[in-house]
Amino acid sequence: MSSETFPGWHGTTIIGVRKGGEVVIAGDGQVSLGQTVIKGSARKVRRLSPGGFDVVAGFAGSTADAFTLLERLEAKLEATPGQLARASVELAKDWRTDKYLQKLEAMLIVSDGADIFVITGAGDVLEPEHDVAAIGSGGNFALAAARAMMDSDRSAEQIARDAMAIAADICVYTNGNLTVETISK
């Protein structure tokens, strides 16, 4: 879809922080259309439990596209129980090669409590350095803030919440209404 016909859905901020034996994924709740806030309480972080194997996923981008990707990820996890890396790579391969999936406009951060991955439509499965990953319009702000706090005595959840607060203060497409999920291995 070209930028002229795309309706102008913008941003969100999702962050994943791994520290102290746990991973926290947090996301804001704002949905914007152009310069208008359509909804302030969307839930962009979800817990998936295919086959009893817990995974937390956060998404940025089109909600319908993200739900399609989450369903596909669940199917991949059911086919490869306990293997988040393998399921993520299989999803990314499908996303890159399937003509239908190629049109999807979203990104994911996923974790099983041990690993964190960023999955993109370009076929990328990225394991972040420094135990922090962030996506969305406020992602770079949250990433920088979280990295600055990693050596502090703050917990993973405190770092994620504080980084999201900083991103919400800077990015107009991010609000402070958070969904926070914690997972440990």
User: For the chain, how many structural domains are there in total?
Assistant: 1
The better pLDDT of the pair 8, 63 is held by 63
Q: Is residue 166 part of a domain?
A: yes
**Among this protein's residues, is 12 annotated catalytic?**
yes
Q: Is residue 1 part of a domain?
A: no
Q: Is residue 138 part of a domain?
A: yes
Average pLDDT, the chain: 90
Whole-prediction pTM: 0.91
104: containing domain = 9-184
**Residue 5: is its pLDDT beyond 70?**
no
Catalytic residue (one of 12, 13, 80, 174): 12
The beta-carbon contacts of 117-124 under 8 Å, at least 24 apart in sequence, are 117/84, 117/85, 117/88, 119/69, 119/73, 119/88, 119/91, 119/92, 119/95, 120/92, 120/95, 121/95, 121/96, 122/96, 123/92, 123/93, 123/95, 123/96, 124/92
Residue 35 has what pLDDT? 85
Mean pLDDT of all residues in 2-12: 51
Q: Is residue 3 part of a domain?
A: no
- CATH number at 28 reads 3.60.20.10
Which range, of 45-49, 68-72, 74-78, 102-106, averages the lowest pLDDT? Answer: 102-106
pLDDT digits (tens, 9 = 90+) for 90-132: 999 988 888 777 788 888 999 999 999 999 888 899 999 999 9
